[in-house]
Amino acid sequence: MPDLILASGSPRRKEIIARMGFDFEVVPTDIDESVHAGEKPTAYVQRMALSKARAAAVHYPQVPVLGADTAVILGETIFGKPKDRADAKAMLLQLSGKTHQVMTAVTVICGKVERSILECTAVTFAPLSADLVDIYVASGECDDKSGSYALQGIGAMLIERVSGSVSCVVGLPSCQTRLLLQSFGLKPRTVSADA
């Protein structure tokens, strides 16, 4: 049995946990990710992380289960993953030349103990031309990414400034997550730059 269950199918979260050196198993969950009417962004990402962790924890009551959710926030608008490429383009044009927040909530459940953290990072986009957005969207990197961009990839060319945890923007704040897992007695076994 692994030391940790990662309740996420995100390849980015899997890579971050692997690089941190934890022995884990990936168990993706399928939950309704709809935003409730009037729900604030902070409440939304926290509810999603908790729901993902709880969905997997029922099957693994003796092992810590980690659920996480990341959302891009501009004002009070939550930008999730794009429905299609046209939606991705619209999101990126709205973010152009502005500073937005990226929130990642992480919940770990083991038995009856639930602990959560919330990390917020400010990201400023450079002013983007429609042509540049078209080129980026055509790369496909925007697919399946909150806010339609990947800071760790080609999307870095769209970003003027980041203030806060870079790994939060990627999908899992590394340092804060390590500390949360340590509160459950978990420690990295070995770290790897090649994960």
Residues with a catalytic annotation lie at 69
The whole-angstrom separation of Cα 73 and Cα 91 is 11
Residue 72 CB coordination number (10 Å): 24
Q: What is the CA radius of gyration of the chain?
A: 17
The two three-digit tokens of residue 32, written as one number: 């309704």
Residue 64 CB coordination number (10 Å): 26
If you ran DSSP here, which 8-state letter would residue 64 be given? Answer: -
The whole-angstrom separation of Cα 27 and Cα 94 is 34
